[in-house]
Amino acid sequence: MMEVREDAVAHTAPGASGGDASGGAAAPLLRVKDLHVHRGEAHILHGLDFEVAPNRVTALLGRNGVGKTTTLLALLGLLPSKGQIEFDGEDISPQPTHRRVQGGLAYVPEDREVFTQLTVEENLRLAMQWPESEGRLPMVHDLFPELKKRSAQKAGSLSGGQQQMLALGRALLHPAKLLLIDEPTKGLAPIIITEVVAALSQATADSTVLLVEQNLRVAEELATDAVVLDEGQVAWRGRMDAMLADADLKQSLLGVGRARPAGEDGRTRSAEGDGRARPDEGADGSEDTEGGA
Amino acid sequence: MSATTAESSELSASAAIPPPRRSRVLPIVMLAVGLVFAVLPFVDLPLPGVFTGPLSSPGTLQILAIGLVFAGVAMSYDLLLGYTGLLSLGHALYFALGLYGTNLLMIHFELSYVVAVPIALLITLVVALLLGSVAMRVRGVAFAMVTLAFAEAFHVFVEADPARISGGEEGLSLAGAQVPDLLTGVVNTRWVYWLALTFALLSFVVCHQAVSSRAGRVWQAIRENEDRVELLGLIPFQFKLLSFGLSAVVAAGGGAVYLLLVRGATPGSASAVFTLNLIIMVVLGGLGRLWGAALGGLVFGYLQLRLPGVARSGVFDPLPAWLEGPLTEPLFILGALFVILVMFAPGGLASLPERLGLLRRGSR
Amino acid sequence: MSLQVFVLLTVTGLGLAGVYFLIASGLSLIFGLMDVLNLAHGLFFTVGSYATWWVMTRFGFIDSLALRFAVAVIVAAAFGLAVGWITERFFVRRFYGDHVTQILITLGLSLSGVALIGGWFSYDPQTFPLPELFRRVVLIAGARIPVSRLLILAISVVLLAALLTFLRRTRHGLIIRAGVENREMVQAMGIDVAKSFTLVFAIGGLLAAIGGVLGAVFFAGVTPEFGLNVLVFAFIVVVIGGLGSVEGTALSAVLVGLTQQYVNFFAGAGIGDLTVVILLAATLLLRPQGLLGEVAR
Residue C106 lies in domain: 3-286
CA A161-A167-A169 angle, to 5 degrees, is: 100
Residue A44 is nearest to which of B3, B8, B225, comparing CB atoms? B3
Assess whether pLDDT exceeds 90 at residue A167.
yes
Is residue A115 a contact partner of residue A126, using CB atoms and an 8 Å limit? Answer: yes
Q: Check CB contact under 8 Å for C267 and B283.
A: no
Task: Give the three-state DSSP class for A80.
Answer: coil
Mean pLDDT of C116-139: 90
Give the containing element (helix H, strand E) for C58.
Answer: helix C41-58
Q: Look at residue C295 and tell me if it is in a domain.
A: no
d(CA C207, CA C201) in angstroms, rounded, equals 10
Q: Check CB contact under 8 Å for C174 and A126.
A: yes
d(CA C263, CA C255) in angstroms, rounded, equals 12
Assess whether pLDDT exceeds 60 at residue C84.
yes
d(CA B204, CA B31) in angstroms, rounded, equals 10
Q: Chain A residue with minimal CA distance to C174? A: A126
pLDDT at A93 (0 to 100) = 93
Assess whether pLDDT exceeds 50 at residue A259.
no
Count of H helices and E strands in chain B?
Answer: 16, 2
d(CA B338, CA A293) in angstroms, rounded, equals 70
Q: Of the candidates C26, C20, C163, which has an alpha carbon nearest to the alpha carbon of residue C83?
A: C26
Phi-psi region of C35 (alpha: psi -120 to 50; beta: other; left: phi over 0): left
Number of separate domains in chain C: 1
pLDDT tens by residue, C16-38: 999 999 999 999 999 888 888 89
Backbone angles phi, psi at C145, to 5 degrees: -105, 125
The length of chain A, given as a count of residues: 293
d(CA C209, CA C77) in angstroms, rounded, equals 6
d(CA A125, CA A10) in angstroms, rounded, equals 45
Per-residue DSSP letters for B117-138? HHHHHHHHHHHHHHHHHHHTTS
Task: Give the three-state DSSP class for C292.
Answer: coil
Q: Look at residue B287 and tell me if it is in a domain.
A: yes
Assess whether pLDDT exceeds 50 at residue C85.
yes
Give the CATH number for residue B311. 1.10.3470
Q: Of the candidates B282, B254, B238, which has an alpha carbon nearest to the alpha carbon of residue B82?
A: B282
d(CA B9, CA B40) in angstroms, rounded, equals 54
Helices marked H in chain A: 2-19, 68-76, 97-102, 120-127, 133-143, 145-149, 160-172, 190-203, 216-222, 240-245, 247-249, 262-272, 277-292
Mean pLDDT of A202-209: 86
On chain C, the residues whose CB falls within 8 A of the CB of A96 are 187, 192
Residue B175's identity, in one-letter code, is: A
Lowest model confidence (mean pLDDT) among A75-84, C179-188, C264-273: C264-273
The Cα of C288 is separated from the nearest Cα of chain B by a number of Å equal to 7
pLDDT at B347 (0 to 100) = 67
Mean pLDDT of A151-174: 94
Residue B90 lies in domain: 45-355
Q: How far is CA A267 from the centre of its chain?
A: 25
The Cα of B350 is separated from the nearest Cα of chain A by a number of Å equal to 27
Q: Look at residue B85 and tell me if it is in a domain.
A: yes
Of residues B334 and A220, the one with the higher pLDDT is A220
Backbone angles phi, psi at A57, to 5 degrees: -100, 120
Assess whether pLDDT exceeds 70 at residue C295.
no
pLDDT at B10 (0 to 100) = 34
Q: Check CB contact under 8 Å for C190 and A101.
A: yes
Q: Look at residue B33 and tell me if it is in a domain.
A: no
Q: Of the candidates B13, B34, B10, which has an alpha carbon nearest to the alpha carbon of residue B194?
A: B34
Output the CA torsion sign for B72, B73, B77, B79. positive
Q: Check CB contact under 8 Å for A101 and C187.
A: yes
Residue C191 is nearest to which of A98, A122, A170, comparing CB atoms? A98
Q: C185 and chain A: CB distance < 8 Å anywhere?
A: yes
Backbone angles phi, psi at B265, to 5 degrees: -125, 125
Q: How far is CA C194 from the centre of its chain?
A: 23
CA B188-B191-B194 angle, to 5 degrees, is: 150
pLDDT at C294 (0 to 100) = 66
The C-alpha R_g of chain A, in whole angstroms, comes to 19
Task: Give the other-Cβ count within 10 Å of C22's Cβ.
Answer: 34
Residue C279's identity, in one-letter code, is: L
d(CA C198, CA C205) in angstroms, rounded, equals 11
Assess whether pLDDT exceeds 50 at residue A262.
no
Assess whether pLDDT exceeds 80 at residue A24.
no
pLDDT tens by residue, C96-127: 877 778 888 998 999 899 989 988 888 899 99
pLDDT tens by residue, A72-96: 999 999 999 999 999 999 999 999 9
pLDDT at B352 (0 to 100) = 64
Q: Check CB contact under 8 Å for A44 and B6.
A: no
Assess whether pLDDT exceeds 60 at residue A59.
yes
Task: DSSP letter for B24, please.
Answer: S
Assess whether pLDDT exceeds 70 at residue A23.
no
Strand partners, A179: A106, A209
Cα torsion B181, B70, C232, B141 to 10°: value is -140
Mutation for C interface: A100, A114, A117, most C CBs within 10 A: A117
d(CA B209, CA A150) in angstroms, rounded, equals 62
pLDDT at B122 (0 to 100) = 97
Of residues A18 and A82, the one with the higher pLDDT is A82
pLDDT at B16 (0 to 100) = 52
On chain B, the residues whose CB falls within 8 A of the CB of A109 are none
pLDDT at C225 (0 to 100) = 85
Give the CATH number for residue C229. 1.10.3470
Q: Which superfamily is assigned to A2-104+176-292 in CATH?
A: P-loop containing nucleotide triphosphate hydrolases (3.40.50.300)
Give how far Cα A286 sits from Cα of A221, A279, C96, Å: 20, 10, 46
Mean pLDDT of C42-59: 95
Q: Of the candidates C13, C10, C30, which has an alpha carbon nearest to the alpha carbon of residue C207?
A: C30
Contacts of B79 (CB under 8 A, 6+ apart): B207, B210, B211, B219, B243, B246, B247, B250
Of residues B44 and A173, the one with the higher pLDDT is A173
d(CA A239, CA A11) in angstroms, rounded, equals 9
Burial call A55-85: b when 16+ CB within 10 Å, e when fewer:
bbbbbbbbbebbbbbbbbbbbbbbbebebeb
Per-residue DSSP letters for A216-244? HHHHHHH-SEEEEEETTEEEEEEEHHHHH
CA A210-A214-A215 angle, to 5 degrees, is: 105
Domain boundaries, chain A: 2-104+176-292
Q: A101 and chain C: CB distance < 8 Å anywhere?
A: yes
Q: Look at residue C294 and tell me if it is in a domain.
A: no
Strand partners, C222: C126
d(CA C255, CA B224) in angstroms, rounded, equals 37
Mean pLDDT of A53-72: 92
Backbone angles phi, psi at A211, to 5 degrees: -115, 125
Assess whether pLDDT exceeds 60 at residue A28.
yes
> Strand A57-61 relative to strand A208-212: parallel, antiparallel, unpaired?
parallel
pLDDT at B15 (0 to 100) = 44
pLDDT in tens, chain B (364 residues): 333 333 333 333 444 555 555 567 888 888 888 888 888 888 888 777 778 777 888 888 999 999 999 999 999 999 999 899 899 999 999 999 999 999 999 999 999 999 999 999 999 999 999 999 999 988 887 788 889 889 988 988 888 887 888 888 888 888 888 888 888 877 788 899 999 999 999 999 999 999 989 999 999 888 888 888 888 888 889 999 999 999 999 999 999 999 999 999 999 899 888 998 899 899 888 888 888 899 999 999 988 888 777 767 777 777 777 777 777 777 888 888 888 888 887 766 666 666 655 444 443 3
Is residue B100 a contact partner of residue B127, using CB atoms and an 8 Å limit? Answer: no
Pairs across B and C, CB distance < 8 A:
143
Q: Look at residue B55 and tell me if it is in a domain.
A: yes
Assess whether pLDDT exceeds 50 at residue A271.
no
Q: Look at residue C92 and tell me if it is in a domain.
A: yes
pLDDT at C228 (0 to 100) = 86
Number of separate domains in chain B: 1
pLDDT at B22 (0 to 100) = 56
Is residue C99 a contact partner of residue C196, using CB atoms and an 8 Å limit? Answer: no
d(CA B290, CA B274) in angstroms, rounded, equals 19
Listed by number, the residues of chain B in 280-309 with a beta carbon closer than 8 Å to a beta carbon of chain C are 280, 283
Is residue B280 a contact partner of residue B334, using CB atoms and an 8 Å limit? Answer: yes
Q: A265 and chain C: CB distance < 8 Å anywhere?
A: no
